[in-house]
């Protein structure tokens, strides 16, 4: 019980001390924050290679309503007391080992329950690669009535890219070669938010893209020797992608 009271007392003291002094960013400071929100900008898979006579492709939707939860890292460098350069990004890589097909015994005379063994298709080898980068500027305004509370508005631009390549040629007798799927999304946004420095070097924030535009181009190349098949989309968002963040100032 005494230990809990001591911990609670220390927490209250830290918060009071943090409120009593001006904790906001100064010229030369760098902030790094972990973010969580709904705004996945790009992802696409290579098509399954078949012997069909047709393929189709649909452009990705970049509307934040249609996307899943996304976490990220966000950074700011304050080149003046009120202005900062925002930057961020990330990348990911996945490798897919290939496995050979297992030919079954089904033929035109087979029927269910006759003991015939189905064919197990090959698992194509391949890889998936994604990256996301963005940069922009933010203008900060301190709240005169609430100490350590800072509003900010900014303009940001970025690009995201996804590539997935699959190849089952050495694993399957019916392989049609390498298949490729890729997507690129370019975007721009006018951002608005608020940060509260509850400790000298730690803050929480909430922000939203007041106006957001994104353009997506999705492309597939179903098999070697074929031309690319592409589709694109345009998206406009208002009060889009609300994001929570918690960060540190250095």
- Domain containing residue 221: 2-97+126-249
Mean pLDDT for the chain? Answer: 81
Overall average pLDDT of the 39-46 stretch? 67
Residues paired with 83 in a beta bridge: 139
The pLDDT of residue 137: 95
Q: Where are the beta strands (DSSP E) in 48-168?
A: 69-77, 83-96, 125-142, 149-167
In a domain, 114, yes or no: no
In a domain, 243, yes or no: yes
177 is written with which tokens?
């070669």
Overall average pLDDT of the 174-187 stretch? 84
In a domain, 110, yes or no: no
The pLDDT of residue 10: 42
Overall average pLDDT of the 230-242 stretch? 88
In a domain, 160, yes or no: yes
Per the structure, the count of domains in the chain is 1
Overall average pLDDT of the 177-181 stretch? 84
DSSP secondary structure code for residue 124 in this structure: P
Q: Report the range of poorest mean pLDDT among 96-105, 170-179, 210-219.
A: 170-179
What pTM, to 2 d.p., does this model score?
0.74
In a domain, 16, yes or no: yes
In a domain, 191, yes or no: yes
Identify which of 123, 235, 146 has the alpha carbon closest to the alpha carbon of residue 196.
146
Overall average pLDDT of the 103-116 stretch? 74
The pLDDT of residue 9: 40
In a domain, 121, yes or no: no
Helix and strand element counts for the chain (H, E) = 1, 8
CATH code for position 152: 2.40.160.20
Cβ pair 133, 89 in contact under 8 A: yes
In a domain, 227, yes or no: yes
């Amino acid at each position: 019980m005494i230990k809990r009271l001591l911990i609670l007392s220390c927490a209250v003291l830290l918060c009071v001390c943090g409120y009593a002094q001006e904790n906001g960013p100064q010229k030369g400071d760098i902030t790094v924050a972990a973010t969580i929100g709904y705004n996945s900008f790009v992802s696409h898979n290579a098509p399954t290679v078949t012997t069909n006579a047709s393929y189709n492709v649909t452009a990705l939707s970049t509307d934040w309503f249609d996307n899943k939860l996304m976490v990220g890292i966000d950074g700011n460098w304050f080149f003046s007391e009120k202005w900062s350069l925002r930057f961020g990004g990330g990348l990911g890589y996945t490798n897919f080992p290939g496995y050979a097909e297992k030919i079954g015994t089904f033929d035109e005379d087979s029927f269910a329950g006759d003991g015939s063994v189905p064919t197990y298709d090959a698992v194509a080898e391949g890889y998936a690669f994604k990256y996301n980068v963005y940069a922009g500027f933010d203008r900060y305004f301190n709240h005169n009535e609430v100490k350590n509370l800072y509003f900010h508005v900014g303009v940001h631009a970025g690009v995201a890219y996804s590539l997935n390549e699959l190849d089952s040629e050495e694993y399957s007798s019916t392989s049609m070669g390498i298949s490729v799927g890729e997507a690129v999304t370019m975007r721009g946004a006018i951002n608005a938010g608020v940060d509260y420095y509850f400790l000298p070097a730690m803050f929480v924030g909430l922000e939203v893209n007041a106006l957001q535009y994104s353009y997506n181009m999705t492309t597939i190349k179903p098999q070697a020797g074929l031309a690319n098949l592409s589709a694109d989309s345009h998206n406009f968002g208002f009060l889009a992608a609300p994001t929570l963040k918690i960060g540190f100032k250095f």
